[in-house]
Amino acid sequence: MRILVLTTQVPFIQGGAERLAAGLVQALIQTGHEAEIVAVPFKWYPPERILDHMLACHLLDLTEVCGQPVDRVIGLKFPTYLIPHPRKTLWLVHQYRTAYDLWDSDYSDLIGQPNGLQVREAIRQADRQLATYPRRFTISANVARRLQQFNGITAAPLYSPPPLAERFYCDPEAGYLFFPSRISLTKRQQLVLEALQHTRNPVRVVFAGAADSQSDGDRLTALVAQWGLADRVQFLGPISDDRKLDCYARAIAVLYPPLDEDYGYVTLEAMLAAKPVITCRDSGGPLEFVRSGQTGWVVDPTPEALAAAMDEAWENRAAAKLMGEDARSAYADLNISWDNVVKTLLG
Amino acid sequence: MKLNWFSPLPPAPTGIATYASQVLTVLGTLADVTAWTDQPTWAASLEQSVQVQRYQDWRQIPWRQAHQADLNIYHIGNDVTFHGGIWQLSRRCPGLVVLHDLELQELFCGIADATPDGWTDYVAGMTRCYGLAGAQAARQLYFKEQPTATIAHHYPLTEWALENAIGALFHNRQACQTATQTLAQRWHLGYAPLPYAAAPTVAQRSQTSPYQLILFGYLGANRQVETIVRALAQMPERDQFQLHLYGQLADPRPIEAAITQFNLGALVHIHGFVSDPALHQALATANLAFNLRSPTVGEASGSQLQIWQHALPSLVSQVGWYAQLPAGTVAWVRPGSEIADIQTHLRQFLADPPRYAAMGYRGRAVLEAHHSPQDYAEALVEFARTCRGATDRRASGFSTVTAQQMTDRAAMPLADWARSGSANSRDLTALAQAIAALTGNGNEDGDKVS
C-alpha cells in the first residue's frame, strides 16, 4: 500500500513525536509498504494562525498523488489529522492541549489572548472530525483518556517501541541520575533542580536535550547559579544517540517527572536500559509503566517528595539495580513492537 | 451561567449607566456576573448584586480571569467616551452586543478622531460595509461636506459595530425585524424592550395654569429644543405655560437667542444638570414632557420610560422606536411639522388637561407591563444561552464568528484567483464545505454548506 503519515512540524524542534513518526514510516517500509511523512509546518501564535492551519489542512487533497491513489493515511497530530481522506486511521499522539487539559494552567498561552476562548471553541469543534475516523488509536492510555474526557470519543491505546530499542544496554552505575528530555516548562527540569536543594546526599543529575527556546535554557542555567548547584548539575545539551545510550547505561536511575506526559519514550528507554524511573503522580504516560516500589518511584510532584526518592536511589544502589532489572522484564512482558503497531493500524 | 458585563456604570453621566444599575441588580440574581469598568469609581451599591472588576485600559484586560465567564456582554452606544473602548474589546473577544443606538456614525467618528490612523481605518470600515458609496460618504463626512446625522441615516455602521460579535440584542422591535432580513445569517438576533424600574407610586400633580412643560437629558440638535421654544413663542396662550430645560444643552446659543428674541425670559428656564432627586421632583410636578428625536439614531429611549414612570404625558417624534409606541400613550409630532403639531397639542392640552393626564397613566401601565428589569434580565440570560450555544447537535455560538473569519481569510486570495480564472465554483464549494465542516455550521454531517 501507499501510505502517508500525517503530522505537524515545528521547524528546529525535535522530540518524541518526530521520532515516532519516523519509526512508523520505517516500520511500514520494512513491512513492504510505500510510506512517507507529510509534515505540515505549524505556528500557533497569534491564535488566529491556528484557524488558518486548520482550514489549510482540511483543504488538502491527499487522495492521490501524480495520478496514483494514496491507499491510506495515518493521522498523528493536530491539525494534520483534519486532512480528509476516505481511508484514514487515527493514531493520536496528542491534541492541541492548551485548548483542553492545559487551558487554565501555567502552561497555556491561549487563555491569555482576547480571542483565546473563541479559538479554543474552534479547536474543540474541529476535533469533532476525529469521530469520522473509522479506526482510532492513541499512543497511550493517557491520550485516550483525554480524548474520551474532552471529546467523548473512544480510542484504543497502541504502544510503540522507542527509537533504538534494540540498542539499549545496562552498565555499572557511574554515580548520577539521568534526565534526558527536551528542556521546557512541561518537562519540569526546574522541579528537579528545586528537589536538589532538599536532598540529604550530594545527588548529581545529568540533563541531556535541547532547550525548546533560549529562555527555557537560560532560566535553568540561572537557577543552577542562584542555588549553588554547579558542582552537582550537568547540562549536556543535544547529544548523539551513542552518548545517550551510554548515559542511560551508566545512570543509577532515570528522572522523568513531566506534567501529564502523553506517552514518554524516556520511561521505556529507561526500562530497556534496566534502570528504575523516578516520576510523579501527575506525570501521565510514565504512570502506565512505572510500578512504584518495583520498577521505580511514583511520588508527589513536590521538591521534597522528589528529593526523598532521589535520596533513596542514591543511597540504595543495589536495590535500584534490582528495580531496573524488574523494569526491563516488565517491558518485555508488554510485547511492544513495530510489527504489532503496523498490524493493528492497518487492520 | 457566568457573564462578563461591559458598560458605563453609575455615576457615569449617561442613561446607559442608569440602565446598567437597574438591570445588574436583577441579573446578579440570575447569573454569576462580573461588571468590568475602566471608570475610577462606581456606585458601591452595584457590588451588592455583582462583582465589579476594574481595568486600566481596554488593551490591558486580564484575559485569563475574563475567560472564566461563559460569555461577554458589550454595551454599544454613540458616546465614544463610554463605548469606544468597549467596542474595541468586543471585536477582539466575541460576545453579545447590546445595541443602545443603531446609527453609530458618531461612535466611529469619535474613534477615528481618537486613534492614530483612525480616519484611514474609518474609510476602510465604510468601504467594507458599503462599498464605493461608503468610501465616498466617508470622504464627504471627513471634509464636512455632509453632516454626520445625514451620513448616519444612510450608513448606520451597525454591522461594523457587530464585527466579530456572536449576537446582537435590540431594544427596538422594528429594527430587529428589519435586521433579521439581512443579518440573521451571521448573527444571533434578539429583541427585548428597554427596561426601567418603575417607582411604586406616582405623585399627584397640580392641574392648573401655569402648566409645567419639561425637557431633560442631553439636549442636542435632534431634541428640537429651539423648535419647541419658537412654537411656544408664537402662541397667544404661551403665558399659560412654563418651560423647564434640564440637562446639557449641546449649543445653548440659539436657545438663548430665541428666548431673548421672543421675550420668553419669564417662561423658559434653563436649569442645567441637577441631581437625580431634583430631576425626579421636576418630573413629578410637570404636566407635559417633550421627548422629540428628529432625527433618531434608532435608540429606544430611557428618557421616555422615565417620563412614563411619573405617568407624565409626553410629545414624541413620530419616527423610529417612538412611532412604535402604543397609541394613546404618547402624543405624536410629525417630523417636518413640529411647530404646527406642538401648537396643536398644547392647545388641545389647555382644552382638556385630564385627557393628556390619562395618556400619561396609560404610559405608566405600559412601563409596568412590558419594561420590567426582571423580565429583561431573564430574556437577556436566555438569549445569552442561545448565543453561547454548544449543545451536542449545535455548534458553539463562537462557530459563526470563526466561520466568518475563515471566510474572510480565504476570500482575498480566492478573489484574486477567480479574477485570473484560476479558481472556479468547485473551489468555492470546497472552501465553503471545509469551513462548514470545521465550524459545525453545516448540517448534521458537517460536510454540506448551510
Q: For position A195, what pLDDT does the model report?
A: 98
Average pLDDT score over residue span B233-244: 96
Instruction: Note the pLDDT of residue A202.
Output: 97
Q: Which residues of B touch A122 (CB under 8 A)?
A: 398-399, 402, 438-439
Does B159 have pLDDT greater than 60? yes
**Which residues of chain B approach chain A closer than 8 Å at the C-beta?**
61, 63-64, 67-68, 89, 92-94, 390, 395-396, 398-399, 401-402, 405-406, 409-410, 430-431, 434-435, 437-440, 446
Contact A151, A104 (CB under 8 A): no
CA distance A50 to chain B (A): 11
Q: What are the distances in angstroms from CA A315 to CA A80, A175, A270, B379, B407? A: 47, 11, 19, 68, 63
Sheet containing A72-77: give its strands across.
A34-41, A2-9, A72-77, A88-94, A135-138, A156-157
User: Which residue, chain included where needed, has cell 490591558?
Assistant: B60
Gap between the Cα atoms of B170 and B330, Å rounded: 22
Which of B92, B401, B438 is opposite residue A114, by nearest beta carbon? Answer: B92
User: For the residues B74-89, what does the mean pLDDT come to?
Assistant: 96
B150 or A321: which leads in pLDDT:
A321
Interface contact A128, partner B, CB < 8 A? yes
**Cβ B282 vs Cβ B246: under 8 Å:** yes
The pLDDT tens digits for A81-125 are: 999 999 999 999 999 999 999 999 988 889 999 999 999 999 999
Nearest chain B Cα distance for residue A34, angstroms: 29
- What is the band of B18 on the pLDDT scale with cuts at 50, 70, 90? very high
Who has greater pLDDT, B302 or B411? B302
| A122 and chain B in contact, CB less than 8 A | yes
What's the rounded mean pLDDT across residues B148-165?
A: 92
Residue A283's contacts (CB-CB under 8 Å, 6 or more residues apart) are A256, A257, A258, A259, A260, A261, A264, A298, A301
Residue B429 — φ and ψ, nearest 5°? -65, -45
ipTM, two decimals: 0.84
Which amino acid is it at B34? T
Which of the four pLDDT bands, split at 50, 70 and 90, describes residue B444?
very low
Residue A111, chain B, CB below 8 Å: the answer is yes
**Closest by CA position to A269, among listed A343, A191, A160, A195:** A160
Shortest Cα distance from B67 to chain A (angstroms)? Answer: 6
Radius of gyration of chain B (CA): 24
A122 and B92 within 8 Å at the Cβ level: the answer is no
CB-CB contact of A32 with A71 (8 Å): no
CA A225 to chain centre: 29
Q: Does A106 touch chain B (CB under 8 A)?
A: no
- pLDDT recorded at residue A346: 96
**φ, ψ for residue B168 (rounded to 5)?**
-135, 135
Quickly state the pLDDT bin for B297 (edges 50, 70, 90). confident
Residue A77 to chain B, least CA–CA distance (Å): 16
Give the separation between CA A98 and CA A82, rounded to whole angstroms: 18
Sign (positive/negative) of CA torsion A149, A153, A157, A158? negative
Residue A133: which of A79, A81, A78, A90 has the closest Cα? A90
Cβ pair B390:A122 closer than 8 A: no
Cis preceding-peptide flag for A69 (omega within 30 of 0): no
Contact, A120 vs B396, CB < 8 A? no
Residue of A111, A114, A128 lying closest to B440 (CB–CB): A128
A11 CB within 8 Å of a chain B CB: no
Residues of A in contact with B395 (CB under 8 A): 125
Which positions in chain B touch A126 (Cβ < 8 Å)? 438-439
Say if CB B371 and CB B196 are below 8 A apart: yes
- This prediction has a pTM of 0.88
C-alpha cell of residue A44: 500557533
Q: How far is CA B94 from CA B268, B322, B373, in A?
A: 48, 31, 25
Q: How confident is the model at residue B447 (pLDDT cuts 50, 70, 90)?
A: very low
Q: Is the pLDDT of residue B194 over 70?
A: yes
Higher-confidence residue: B448 or A66?
A: A66
Q: C-alpha cell of B275? A: 441631581
- CA atoms of A286 and A283, how far apart (whole Å): 6
- Chain B: closest CA distance from residue A111 (Å): 5
Of B67, B68, B434, the CB nearest to A58: B434
User: In sequence order, what are the beta bridge partners of B270?
Assistant: B245
Q: CB contact, 8 Å: A49 with chain B?
A: no
Of B63, B399, B437, the CB nearest to A112: B63
Q: Which amino acid is residue A217, in one-letter code?
A: G
> Given this model, what pLDDT does residue B307 score?
96
Backbone dihedral angles phi then psi of residue A37, each to the nearest 5 degrees: -90, 135
Instruction: Check: CB of residue A234 under 8 Å from CB of residue A204.
Output: yes
Task: State the SS3 of B213-278.
Answer: EEEEEEECHHHCHHHHHHHHHCCHHHHHEEEEEEEEECCHHHHHHHHHHCCCCCCEEEEECCCHHH
Grid cell in block for residue A264? 514518554
Which pLDDT belongs to residue B428?
Answer: 84
pLDDT of residue B448: 29
Tell me how far apart the alpha carbons of residues B145 and B157 are, in angstroms, rounded to a whole number. 19
**Cβ <8 Å between B63 and A55:** no
For chain A (347 residues), the mean pLDDT of every run of 10, in chain order, is: 96 86 97 97 95 95 95 97 97 96 91 96 95 97 97 97 96 97 93 98 96 91 96 96 97 97 94 98 97 98 98 98 98 96 96
| Residue B201, pLDDT score | 78
Query: What is the spatial distance between Cα B76 and Cα B84, in angstroms, rounded to a whole number?
Result: 8
- Vertex B289 angle, CA B287 and B292, to 5°: 160
Under the banding of pLDDT at 50, 70 and 90, the label for residue B442 is low
Dihedral angle computed from the Cα positions of residues B230, B234, B236 and B241, in that order, rounded to the nearest 10 degrees = -10
Amino acid identity of residue A197, one-letter, is Q
Phi, psi at B14, each rounded to 5°: -150, 145
> Could you tell me if A216 and A184 are in contact, meaning their C-beta atoms sit under 8 angstroms apart?
yes
The Cα–Cα gap between B450 and B186 comes to 11
Residue A142 to residue A144: CA distance in whole angstroms: 5
For residue B347 the three cell numbers come to: 392647545
What's chain B look like in SS3?
Answer: CEEEEECCCCCCCCHHHHHHHHHHHHHHHHCEEEEEECCCCCCHHHHHCCEEEECCCHHHCCHHHHCCCCEEEEEECCCHHHHHHHHHHHHHCCCEEEECCCCCHHHHHHHHHHCCCHHHHHHHHHHHHHHHHHHHHHHHHHCCCCCHHHHHHHCCCHHHHCCCCCEEEECCHHHHHHHHHHHCCCCEEEECCCCCCCCCCCCCCCCCCCEEEEEEEEECHHHCHHHHHHHHHCCHHHHHEEEEEEEEECCHHHHHHHHHHCCCCCCEEEEECCCHHHHHHHHHHCCEEEECCCCCCCCCCHHHHHHHHCCCCEEEECCHHHHCCCCCCCEEECCCCHHHHHHHHHHHHHHCHHHHHHHHHHHHHHHHHHCCHHHHHHHHHHHHHHHHECCCCCCECHHHHHHHHHHHHHHHHHHHHHHHCCCCHHHHHHHHHHHHHHHCCCCCCCCCCC
For cell 528537589, name the residue: A195
d(CA A267, CA A144): 18
